[in-house]
Amino acid sequence: MEAKTEKLLTKVAESFKELAKCVDSPTPRLEVGQFASASRLVASIIGHLGMAFKFASIEFSAKIDALMEASKSIDTLEALIDHDIEQNCAKVSNSNSRDLVRVKRSIDMLRVIYEQILIQR
């Protein structure tokens, strides 16, 4: 089981390194689908944290599903945010922008949790 988790963590790290390359490039362009796919790997990690995180996992997966759906009509994260701002719905519950913020915050929270786990080892 631990080997499986380590492979998953390696996959997550590699996919986010690819995202970082996109962001750090001279012409940053981060595709919605690419971000959502990397985030979907993170959803698998939440499952390893136990039953206390079951609801969080369901909510997180729903946000990723919404972003994947948005990726069919919106190419980049920048365009997604711009679109929601233009439609005056960036702060509306269940908007793509709000889903993006929630996914980002969840990833940040998981990063902190796993950093603390590593520190305690």
pLDDT in tens, 23-69: 998 998 999 999 999 999 998 888 778 888 888 899 999 999 999 99
pLDDT at 24: 92
CATH number for position 17: 1.10.3520.10
Name the one residue in this structure whose structure tokens are 């136990």. 50
Average pLDDT in the 78-104 region?
95
Q: Please give the Cα distance from 65 to 10 (Å, whole number).
A: 23
% of the chain surpassing 70 pLDDT: 96
Structural domains in the chain (count): 1
Alpha helices in the chain (DSSP H): 2-24, 32-46, 54-70, 77-86, 96-120
Interacting residues of 67 by C-beta distance below 8 A, sequence separation 6+: 32, 35, 36, 39, 96, 99, 100, 103
Residue 7 burial (CB count, 10 A): 10
Domain range for 32 is 2-120
